[in-house]
């Protein structure tokens, strides 16, 4: 009997590098996503001010800008597979050890600098994921990747139990050690079961004997490729807006829930769990149907739902009503963030020049991070004034996304990529 659900069909049909990347991706969720619901309140519990929490997020973004610039030459020089293994360890395993022993602001700054190297592995891993994949399956593949990250929601009660039994700081230290072990396992398995891509083999041969800096000097031509593609520019704008909103939510959602709405620490993971469960359900049911209508309608639907979710969050009062309202907020957030994250990744991957994928994506990531970087610091200052203001900022950015989408698709949506 034929498999009708496109995601389920994609799971069964995956082969080679796409299968290795997708099948190991749940381990990322079982490591880092168990810590993320507590990352900001962990910093606050160690006595770090809101503005400094925002500053650390900006340092993280600046580090990403630098390594996004270098990611193309590094990925071409070392190959997609080896680059992913090396920089996954630098970007995630080492920071986990630093976060585990963190005592003050400077620990988080050092960890943020290491963590920023993730932009190298973002590039190399994306190349490993899609370079040997069929083009018509890329959107479904990214849906699976995002959904794999959401699977950690099923294990969120572990975090809640640890916090309730051990208190916040000791529990999060344990979770960071767990993240180190699981992430090390993930990168090892991915290296074993993947192979260098066909494009990667060609680029390694072409860059043999050249330094990273010589390769970086060739970016002028890459900028021309980007500048002459309206679709690439549009995908960059969408990715930047989605990235900023995601960063603000990851950094400050826990703080508004904990400090303004007075949600107990032990309950904090339950709300991201709800968001993740909602996203998973939508990925299996509604989103595949919506994606049949091209890109304009899914983008507008995602932006509008995200605006509704963020608005409800701001208007939620302290008191018993906060719990059902937070759930409704996360219902809209789960759909909006899920579909926008998938579409942002897919649009960037689909518009990229295949022969120059690593260098074009390096420039794209650098531009996105450069635009995103100041907003961690800006949101931190806004949060120090009012816990709600960072989310006023996200609503403005999401509204901008609606405007940009309507402008780009003003002549209609043919449902095809340029």
Helix (H) or strand (E) holding 300: helix 296-315
pLDDT of residue 180: 96
- pLDDT per residue of the chain (418 residues) written in tens, 0 to 9: 445 667 778 888 888 899 999 999 888 878 887 887 688 889 999 999 988 988 898 898 889 888 988 888 899 999 999 999 999 999 999 999 999 999 999 999 999 999 999 989 988 999 999 888 877 778 788 878 877 777 766 776 787 788 888 988 999 999 999 999 999 999 999 999 999 999 999 989 998 888 888 877 766 667 777 777 788 889 889 989 998 999 898 888 888 888 888 888 777 777 877 877 888 888 778 777 787 777 889 999 999 999 999 999 999 988 777 889 998 998 899 889 888 988 887 787 776 666 666 677 777 777 887 788 788 889 888 988 999 999 999 999 999 999 999 999 887 655 544 4
Residue 186: predicted pLDDT: 95
Q: Give residue 331's domain range.
A: 15-408
Specify the pLDDT at position 116: 92
pLDDT computed for residue 283 by the predictor = 78
Residue 415 lies in a domain: no
- How high is the pLDDT of residue 9? 80
Characterize 309-339 residue by residue with b for buried, 16 or more Cβ atoms within 10 angstroms of its Cβ, and e for exposed. Answer: bbbbbbebeeeeebeebbeebbbbbbbbbbb
Does 257 fall in a domain?
Answer: yes
Q: Kindly state the DSSP code that residue 297 receives in the 8-state scheme.
A: H
Q: Does any domain span residue 5? A: no
Residue 14 tokens read as 């995956």
Taking CA atoms, 281 is separated from 7, 87, 141, 286, in Å, by 12, 32, 16, 8
Handedness of CA 135, 337, 371, 374 (dihedral sign): negative
Query: How many domains does the chain contain in total?
Result: 1
Q: Is 125 exposed, middle or buried (0-12, 13-18, 19+ CB in 10 A)?
A: buried
The answer to whether residue 10 sits within a structural domain is: no
CB 112 within 8 A of CB 60: yes
- Look at the chain and count its residues: 418
Structure tokens at 336: 């909006």
pLDDT attached to residue 321:
77
Q: Is residue 417 part of a domain?
A: no
217: which residues sit within 8 A by CB, 6+ positions away? none
Rounded (10°) angle between helices 374-385 and 230-255: 40
**Is residue 6 included in any domain, yes or no?**
no
Provide the pLDDT for residue 416.
44
Q: Is residue 139 part of a domain?
A: yes
350 lies in some domain: yes
- pTM (whole model) above 0.85: no
Q: How many helices (DSSP H) and strands (DSSP E) are in the chain?
A: 23, 0
Tracing tokens 């060739």 back to the chain, one arrives at 218
User: Which tokens in the block code for residue 292?
Assistant: 């049949």
Give pLDDT, residue 355: 61
Q: Which CATH number goes with the domain that contains 255?
A: 1.20.1250.20
């Amino acid at each position: 009997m034929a498999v009708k659900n496109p995601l389920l069909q994609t799971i069964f049909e995956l082969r080679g590098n796409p299968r290795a990347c997708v099948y190991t991706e749940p381990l990322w969720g079982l490591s880092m996503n168990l810590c993320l619901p507590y990352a900001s309140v962990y910093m606050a519990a160690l006595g770090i001010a809101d503005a400094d929490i925002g500053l650390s997020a900006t340092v993280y973004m600046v580090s990403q800008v630098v390594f996004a610039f270098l990611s193309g030459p590094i990925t071409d020089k070392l190959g997609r597979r080896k680059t992913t293994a090396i920089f996954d360890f630098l970007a995630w395993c080492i920071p986990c050890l630093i976060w585990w022993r963190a005592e003050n602001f400077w620990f988080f700054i050092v960890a943020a600098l290491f963590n920023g190297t993730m932009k190298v592995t973002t590039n190399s891993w994306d190349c490993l994921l899609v370079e040997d994949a069929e083009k018509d399956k890329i959107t479904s593949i990214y849906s699976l990747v995002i959904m794999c990250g959401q699977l950690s929601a099923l294990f969120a009660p572990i975090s809640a139990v640890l916090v309730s039994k051990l208190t916040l700081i000791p529990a999060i230290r344990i979770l960071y050690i767990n993240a180190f072990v699981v992430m090390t396992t993930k990168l090892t398995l991915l290296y074993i079961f993947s192979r260098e891509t066909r494009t990667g083999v060609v680029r390694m041969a072409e860059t043999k004997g050249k330094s990273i800096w010589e390769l970086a000097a060739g970016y002028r031509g890459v900028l021309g490729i980007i500048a002459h593609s309206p679709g690439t520019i549009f995908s960059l704008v969408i990715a930047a807006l989605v990235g900023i909103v995601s960063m603000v939510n990851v950094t400050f959602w826990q703080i508004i829930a904990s400090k303004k709405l007075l949600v107990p620490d032990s309950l904090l993971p339950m709300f991201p769990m709800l968001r993740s469960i909602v996203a998973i359900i939508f990925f299996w049911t509604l989103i595949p149907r919506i994606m049949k209508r091209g890109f304009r309608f899914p983008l507008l639907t995602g932006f509008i739902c995200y605006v509704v979710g963020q608005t409800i969050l701001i208007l939620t009062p302290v008191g018993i009503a906060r719990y059902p309202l937070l759930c409704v907020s996360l219902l809209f957030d789960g759909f909006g963030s899920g579909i926008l994250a998938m579409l942002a990744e897919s649009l960037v991957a689909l518009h990229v020049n295949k022969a120059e994928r690593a260098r074009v994506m390096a420039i794209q990531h650098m531009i996105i991070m450069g635009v995103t970087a100041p907003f961690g610091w800006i949101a931190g200052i806004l949060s120090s004034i009012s816990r709600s203001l960072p989310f006023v900022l996200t609503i403005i950015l999401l509204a901008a996304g609606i405007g940009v989408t309507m402008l780009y698709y003003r002549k209609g949506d043919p449902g095809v990529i340029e």
